[in-house]
Amino acid sequence: MNNRLDDLEAAIITMRSGLLSAQAEIDRLRSLFEAAYLAGFMASGEGWNGEHPFQDRGLDPSDDDYWRERRDVDLARLVNPPKDQETA
């Protein structure tokens, strides 16, 4: 019986370690996507046709609540596109 409990405990530890590694990778990828989104936004004349010149004013778009909300919605669509926008 002890061997089964030891095996179960080892399996749980391995599973937990795998989940922590997976979460770390998800966090790393999210940071990369957010950096890429910001770079694209800044390179596009700051998205709103220069109406909000963040760079000229020394501002960071990611400090803007609306900007972060739009970024998160856009990134979510990349990961989980609506059914009518999925590609084959």
Looking up tokens 């609506």 gives 82
Dihedral, CA of residue 70, residue 62, residue 66 and residue 23, to nearest 10: 50
Number of domains in the chain: 1
Segment 33-62 mean pLDDT:
75
Taking residue 34's Cβ as centre, other Cβ atoms within 10 Å add up to: 15
Q: Please determine, for residue 32, whether its predicted confidence score (pLDDT) is greater than 70.
A: yes
Residues 61 and 74: their CA atoms lie apart, in Å, by 15
Q: Please determine, for residue 14, whether its predicted confidence score (pLDDT) is greater than 90.
A: no
Taking residue 8's Cβ as centre, other Cβ atoms within 10 Å add up to: 10
Domain enclosing residue 76, as ranges: 2-85
pLDDT score for 50: 56
Residues 58 and 77: their CA atoms lie apart, in Å, by 29
Taking the whole predicted model, whether its pTM rises above 0.75 is answered as no
